[in-house]
Amino acid sequence: RGYGRVYSGSLCRTSGHVPPDNSSCSIDDSSRCNSRSCAPPVHLRLCGCWRRGIGLRGAAAVRPAMYLPRPAMHALRLALLLHAIDALSTTRRPYDTKVRVASQRSAPLPPTAPQDPSLTEYMRLPTAQYALLDLPYGADLRRKGSNGDQELFELVVPPVKFFFLTVSPHVQCVVDSNEHSVVVRGTSCTLKGTDALVRRINDCFDFRVTAEMTWVDDSTRRIDCSVDLAVDVAPPGPFRLIPRRSLEVTGNSVMRVATNQIIRGFLQTLLNDYSKWASDESYRERRRANAEQVAAR
């Protein structure tokens, strides 16, 4: 079904060209056909588009012949597809796929939240204490050390699904704080997962993210957070077969959902922790002692 006329002819063993008959090779270029001999007749049933593409005419296009069984044809198509994917995976494409996410969130304190100690005092605590927070959705924030006045962290993001891959981003962060804000900058990102393709993807993207937290500590107390995320991707392997626009739309959607979940959960964690910190003096003391232990590592 779906097959048209057939071609029956012999292929040159050296050049692979199709001679006009079954008896001998008619290629005159000796540099491409040194043997001057042809393979035994090869009969392939060709679909109409292939027949028109190679321009077969006359008796050569209508001779009866056998054709490959359907399972063999499917295997041949699969082998050609795998070969094309392998060839694509060895060639680096420019970083032409852009993922951009800009998000802003505010978390107001409830009216019942303690007034003293103030929200400003809490937000100006040493940033090493962020490693003591229990983040939602299975995320984890690990302190990795310090570099002068900067604190170094690793943020482990819960697994996210992108097309047929499930990956867990591990983001290396630098945290700066001052009297009015806390700024987190992602310096690198490593994707981890069980699929072998995940390791190859790590060499194919450039990652940048900046998150800034500010606060308002007056009659309407709240914590604000803004995030700017940029990922430039050179799609590897099978992803190169997907249109760039589809990759960007899917990437933007996945990253926006993941970013908003992390921001919303982190802000809610800060609010809950502030309420406990401000209302429980013994908890403040434990937090201070634990933060000193974390900073000494």
Say what the pLDDT of residue 274 is.
Answer: 93
Tens-digit pLDDT profile for residues 51-103: 444 444 444 444 444 456 777 777 777 666 665 555 555 455 577 788 899 99
Quote the tokens at residue 207.
């990652």
Question: Which amino acid would we find at residue 104?
Answer: Q
Quote the tokens at residue 236.
């590897």
Closest CA relative to residue 18, chosen from 47, 45, 38, 46: 38
Say what the pLDDT of residue 297 is.
Answer: 64
Asked if residue 226 has pLDDT above 90, the reply is yes
Contact 67, 3 (CB under 8 A): yes
Say what the pLDDT of residue 111 is.
Answer: 86
Asked if residue 224 has pLDDT above 90, the reply is yes
Q: Can you spell out the DSSP letters for 249-280? A: HHHHHHHHHHHHHHHHHHHHHHHHHHHHHHH-
Neighbouring C-alpha atoms within 13 Å toward the C-beta of 79: 6
Quote the tokens at residue 240.
């190169």
Quote the tokens at residue 149.
């006045």
Q: How many Å apart are CA 67 and CA 78, to the nearest integer? A: 18
Q: Output the pTM of the full model.
A: 0.61
* pLDDT bucket at 33, cuts 50 / 70 / 90: very low
Q: How many Å apart are CA 86 and CA 237, to the nearest integer? A: 7
